[in-house]
Amino acid sequence: MHVSSGEHSPAQRIQPGPSYQVSYAERIKLEVGITTIAVGLITEAEQAEGIVATGQADAIGIARAVLYNPRWPWHADARLGAQVSTPPQFWRSEPHHIKNLFQH
């Protein structure tokens, strides 16, 4: 279950901020035991990794940050020291300050 919060009723008092809906996914996972995807202003690599690593959710989803920067997953991989699998044509695009981002 991908857990957003609707926000269609003025009676809801939602305060958008970093990870603001993650606790909903966490609670559903805990109480119902189903696989959850957390969303809600997850914008940083470490923030995303932390949510999954600590078991708050099984996966995370990102919308707004990816609308702004479609290469967000590559930047997150570079920051976390992970690798990206691409066709060889991309390999020479690796910036000098990043090493071994592309899996050869």
Residues 25-44 that bind ligand FMN (CB under 6 A): 39-42
Q: In the set 27, 64, 71, 79, which binds ligand FMN (CB under 6 A)?
A: 64
DSSP letters for 31-82: HH----EE-SS--SHHHHHHHHHTTS-SEE--SHHHHH-TTHHHHHHHHHT-
Of 1, 59, 62, 84, which one interacts with ligand FMN (CB under 6 A)?
Answer: 62
**CA–CA separation, 24 vs 37, rounded Å?**
10
User: 2 or 86, CB closer to ligand FMN?
Assistant: 2
Interacting residues with ligand FMN (CB under 6 A): 4-7, 39-42, 61-65
